[in-house]
Amino acid sequence: MSLAIHLFGKPRIEWDGAPVPPPRARKTWALLTYLLLCERPPPRSRVAPLLFSEADDPLGALRWSLADLRRTVGHGMTVDGDPLELTLPHGAAVDVTALTAPGDGESFVRLEGELLEGIAFPSSPAFESWLGMMRRHLDGAGRALAHDEALRRLAAGDPAGAIELAAQLVSQDPLDQAGQELLVRSLARAGRPQAAKQQAADCEALFRRELGVAPGPELRGAADDNADTAATAVGDRDIALGQLGAGQAAIDAGTVEPGVQILRQACAEAAASGDAALEARALTALGSALVHAVRGRDEEGAVRLHEALRLAEGCGERAASAAACRDLGYIDVQAGRGPSAGRWLTRATELAEGNEELCAVLGVRGMALSDRAHYGAALDLLNKSVARAERCGRLRQAAWSLSLIGRVHMLRGELSLALPRLDESLALVAAERWTAFQPWPEVLRAEASLLIGRPDQAGEQLDHAFRLACQLGDPCWEAMGARLMGILAADSNDVAKAREHLADAVARATRVSDAYQWVHAHVLDSAAALAVQTDSEDAVPIVERLAELAARCGLRELVVRANVHRSRLGVPGAAESARVLASEIDNAKLEALVGPPMLV
C-alpha cells in the first residue's frame, strides 16, 4: 500500500490512489503541515502555543489533534515523543518535498495552487503568520525550479518547452526581469525574432510605467540570442584553444568586455571544429565570465553553462561539468533560488576532483548555507574551503571564503571571531591585488569597527570602500556601503540623512537584474528598522517588502527580522512567529532580539 499526502491546493490524503476521510478539525491539517515542513522535530512546548494559543489547555488540544492525525493517516505512520517526531511509511509521497528535496535535475514537478489552499486559521495568528511565510517560500521554490527547467529545455534544443514555462513565470510576476529575459531569449531561440523584440519592448514599457525605470540592456540583447556567432569560424581546433586561453587571460587581467568577446569566438570555433569536449570547456569559461565578471548577465551565463553541461556530460568532460554545476549553483544562490541552488551544488560536489575545484564548491555551498542562516554548517564548509584553497594556492578563493566566515560571525555578534577573519581576507586581497573584490570585506570590516566602538575608523574604512565600489560599478558592494552610511547617520541622530542613505542602498541593490538577494534583503532590514523606529509613513510597505522577499528566497534570519518589525507595527501573531522561526536558528544575538517563547 502507498501513502500520498497532498498539501498544495485543497489538502487531501490518499492510500493507493483512493482518498481517505479528512481529519475532523482544520487544525489537524495545520499540525501535519508544520511537522512536515519543520527542519527538525519541534518540542511540544513550541507547537502547542503556535496552534492552540486560544485553548484553555494548549497541550491537551495538541494531544487531541495528534490523535486525530493518527486516525486520519493510520497505516504505519507514527507521530510521538517530545520533541514531536513524525515518521511516514516507506515509499510515502508528500507533494511539498518535490520543491524542497534534492533531485537529479531532470525531474520537474509543477504543483498547482498554494499550501493548504482555502484554509485560514484566524484563532491562531502566530500559525497564520508562519503559514503566510511558508506559502511565499514554497511559491518561490516552485518558481525557481520552473526557471531552472526552462533553461534546461532551452539548452536541450526545446525552445517551445522553455517558452511555455517562461510565459507562466512572466504571468505570475511580470516585473521579474529574469523571467522576462528568459521568455525573450526563448522566443529568439525558437526562430521568432519579431515576437522576441515585441516582448522586450512590452516589458520595457511595463517597467517604465510601473517602476519608473527601464530594464537593463541585457533584455534587448536576449532578443538577438539566435544571431549567427559562427559566421567567421573556420573549425580550427588550435585557433579555438588559443582563443580560449587568451579570453581567460583577458578576464583575469580585468579587461572584461574584450575577454568575453574572445571567449565567444572560442565557443564558435570549437563548435565548428567538432570537438565537443573543447566546446564544453569554452562554453564553461564564457558562462563563468558572464556570471562573475559582468553585472546583469547571469541569465545569459546560465544558458551557456547549461549548454556546456549538456556537452560535457555527453563526452565525459568531468572538470567542465563540475565547474558548470558550481556556477549554476552560484547564480541560484545570488538569486535566492535555494532549491535549485541546492541541486546544482550537490551535483558539483559529487563531480569535483582535487582541492582546486573542491575549495570553490565548498565556498559556494557555505555562502548558500550562511544566506539561509544555517550558520554552523556554513562555517564548517567555509573553513574547509579556506584550508583547501591555501593548500593549492587559490588565495583569492581563500579571501572570498574568509570574508563570508567574517560575515557569519558578525551576524551572530561574535566580533572577536569576525575581526581576525576579515583582516586575513583583506590581507590576501591586498597581496593578490584583487581590487574588484576589495569593497566587500572592507565594508564588513568597517561595520565591525563601528560595532566595537570605533566610529571614526569605521568612517574612514567605509569611505574608501564605497568610493572603490562606485568606481567598479558593482551594485552589491555599493549597496552595502550606502547601508552602513545610513547606520552611521542614524547613530549620529541625523534621521533624514539616514533615510536618504538607506533608500539609496535599496535602489543600488536592485539596479541590475541579477541582484544578490541577500544583500537586497539585508539593506531592506536596516531601512525597515529605521522606518519602524521613527514611525515613518512608509514603514509598513518597507517591512512587507522585506517579509515577502525574505520568505520567497528562504532567508530565514531575515524572515525572523521582518516578523520582529511586523510585531512592532502591531501585526497579530508576528512576535510569536518570529520566536518560533528563531528557535531553529543558531544565533544567540537573534534569540535576544525576539525574546523568550510563549509559555504553556
3-state secondary structure of 113: coil
Q: What average pLDDT does the segment 463-483 reach?
A: 96
Cβ atoms of 408 and 379 within 8 Å: the answer is yes
**Mean pLDDT rounded to a whole number for the chain:** 93
- Predicted confidence (pLDDT) per residue in 123-181, tens digit: 999 999 999 999 999 999 999 989 999 999 999 999 999 999 999 999 999 999 999 99
pLDDT at position 104 is 45
For residues 544-559, give the mean pLDDT: 97
Residue 568 falls inside a structural domain = yes
Total domains in the fold of the chain? 2
Residue span of the structural domain in which 108 resides = 3-135
What's the pTM value of the predicted model, to 2 decimals? 0.93
Pairing mode of beta strands 3-6, 93-94: parallel
Residue 69 lies in a domain: yes
CA distance 412 to 374: 11
Phi first, then psi, for residue 164 (nearest 5°) are: -55, -50
Residue 547 placed within a domain = yes
pLDDT of residue 108: 67
User: Which of 162, 169, 320, 281 is CA-nearest to residue 226?
Assistant: 162
> Beta strands 85-87 and 78-80: pairing type?
antiparallel
Q: Which of 88, 113, 135 is the last residue of a domain?
A: 135
- Element containing residue 19 per DSSP (H, E): strand 18-19
Report the percentage of the chain scoring pLDDT > 90. Answer: 84
Q: What secondary structure does DSSP assign to 31-75, as a single string?
A: HHHHHHH-SSPPPHHHHHHHHHTTSSSHHHHHHHHHHHHHHHH-T
Reading the block at residue 47, the C-alpha cell is 507547537
Does the residue 213 lie in any domain? no
pLDDT band (50, 70, 90) for residue 105: very low
Query: 155 and 306 in contact (C-beta within 8 Å)?
Result: yes
Q: How far apart are CA 441 and CA 477, in angstroms?
A: 9
- Record the cell numbers describing residue 70, joined without a space: 493518527
- Of 85, 101, 135, the residue at which a domain comes to its end is 135
Task: Determine how β-strand 18-19 pairs with β-strand 12-15.
Answer: antiparallel
pLDDT digits (tens, 9 = 90+) for 225-251: 765 555 678 889 999 999 999 999 999
400 located within any domain: no
Residue 316 within any structural domain of the chain = no
Which of 269-273, 388-392, 592-596 is least confident? 592-596
Q: Give 491-518 pLDDT, tens digit per residue.
A: 999 999 999 999 999 999 998 888 999 9
CA-to-CA distance for 443 and 431, rounded, in angstroms? Answer: 18
Report yes or no on 108 lying in a domain: yes
Say if 178 falls within a structural domain.
no
pLDDT in tens, 309-350: 999 999 999 999 999 999 999 999 999 999 899 999 999 999
| Domain final position from 111, 135, 159 | 135
The domain that holds 17 is classified in CATH as: 1.10.10.10
- How far is the C-alpha of 435 from the C-alpha of 474, rounded, in Å? 12
